Amino acid sequence: WMRDQMGLIKSAAEIETLASSVEDNGGAYFVPAFSGLFAPYWRPDARGVITGLTRYVTKAHIARAVLEATAWQTREISDAMTKDSGVELTALKVDGGMTSNNLLMQTLADFLDAPVVRPMVAETTCL
């Protein structure tokens, strides 16, 4: 979305560099409900939003908010799974292209309060 629709970055890899250039999200928050909010909310009528914008928020802050939104969505699903099952998350195993984003993986670990485990080969979909 930041690359294809907004043109704020030229490549997916660029978001980490951009988001890492600021200490935090500057008070900006992003809800990526482009087609509604799905698990665990199931609200197809919800829409995306960027909030907390001030004259000091830069595209770097928005990039960080986008990465944080990904981590928050994962946390919300994890919390729902823990509530339903009674089993606490002890580690999250990840794969795919986003695993190369060190800032995102650390943010996930921080938000989940659990280690994030990456495979030796990131793109394991075809295996």
Any idea how long the chain is? Answer: 127
Look at residue 9 and tell me whether its pLDDT is greater than 70.
yes
pLDDT digits (tens, 9 = 90+) for 65-93: 999 999 999 999 999 999 999 999 999 99
User: What are the extents of the domains in the chain?
Assistant: 14-117
CATH class belonging to 14-117: alpha beta
The pTM of this model reads 0.90
Between CA 35 and CA 21 the distance in angstroms is 30
Interior angle at CA 55, CA 52 and CA 59, nearest 5? 75
